[in-house]
Chain A
C-alpha cells in the first residue's frame, strides 16, 4: 500500500542553523509533492509545491528537493528562527483529487 514517512521525532536546532526535514514515500509515483506548515490549533498553510521534473525549488529561506529515484523529498530552512517552530507536513498527490499527508515532523528552533 502507499506510504509516506516523516520523522516522527521532533527536530531541535539552534537559531541560525539550517533545518532539514525528510519525507520518504513508497508505492507512489507522484507527479507533485507539497509541503505545508501547521501551528498548534491551526490548519495547515501551504509553503511550496514541486513537480516530478523539478529537482529543486526555492522560496526565500526555504528549499525543497524531490528525488523520484530515491522516492524522497528534503525540506530545508536556512538561517532558522524561533518563529519557524511548527509542524511541517509533506503531502503527495495520490492519483485522485485529494492530497495524502505524512504525519509531520515537529521543528523546534531554540533561541
Chain B
C-alpha cells in the first residue's frame, strides 16, 4: 500500500510483559515520528528519527520505552515491563523531508495497546 502501515492494530498484554509495535513508513520518507494518544486527547510526541538516527527522544515517558529504525525504513517501538498507564493508541507518522514540523505528516492508523 501507499500509506503508513502499523502492526498489530490491536495488542493486549498483561502488566509486566514486553511489547513491540511496528511501523512501515511511506517508502523514501526520511522523517519518522512516534506519538502516543490517550482517549479523548490529541497525539503526544514520543520520538523522532531522521533516517536511522534517533534525533529526539525527549517525549519517551520512561526508560522502559525504546525505539529503533536500524535501516532507516521500518521502525519498532518497544515497551518493557508494561504498566496499565501505557494503555493508549500508538501512532506512527512519516514525512518526506527532514525536520517535518513545517510539512504535512502522514499517519498510520495506530496500534491500540491495552494492558490488563
A binding-site residues for B, Cβ under 8 Å: 4, 8, 31-32, 34, 36, 41-46, 49, 51, 89, 91, 93-94, 96-104
Are A43 and B44 in contact, CB atoms less than 8 angstroms apart? no
Contact status of A31 and B102, CB under 8 A, knowing A102-B42, A104-B42: yes
Chain A residues near B110 (CB-CB < 8 A):
42-43
Q: Which of B12-20, B52-60, B68-76 makes up part of the contact surface? A: B52-60
Asked whether, in the complex, the Cβ of B43 is within 8 Å of the Cβ of A44, the reply is yes
Binding site of B, secondary structure by majority: helix, strand, loop or mixed? loop
Q: What is the distance, in angstroms, from A46's C-beta to the closest C-beta of chain B? A: 4
A-B contact pairs, 23 of them (CB 8 A): A34-B104, A41-B109, A43-B91, A43-B93, A43-B107, A43-B108, A46-B105, A46-B106, A49-B102, A91-B42, A93-B101, A97-B31, A97-B100, A97-B101, A98-B45, A99-B33, A99-B100, A100-B45, A101-B35, A101-B43, A103-B40, A103-B41, A104-B41
Nearest CB of B to A43, in Å = 3
Complexed CA–CA distance, A94 and B33 (Å): 15
Q: Does B99 sit at the interface, judged by CB under 8 A?
A: yes
What CA separation (Å) do A34 and B106 show in the bound complex? Answer: 13
The total of interchain contacts (Cβ-Cβ below 8 angstroms) comes to: 73
Which B residues lie at the A interface, using CB under 8 A?
4, 31, 33, 35, 40-45, 48, 50, 55-56, 58-59, 91, 93, 99-110
Given contacts A43-B4, A101-B43, contact A96 B101 (CB under 8 A): yes
User: Which residues on B sit within 8 Å (CB–CB) of A104?
Assistant: 41-42
A2 to chain B, nearest CB (A): 12
Among residues of A, the one whose C-beta sits closest to the C-beta of B106 is A46
Of all chain B residues, which has the CB nearest A91?
Answer: B42
With A96-B56, A103-B42 already in contact, 5 other A-B pairs whose C-beta atoms are closer than 8 Å: A8-B40, A43-B108, A43-B110, A44-B43, A99-B100
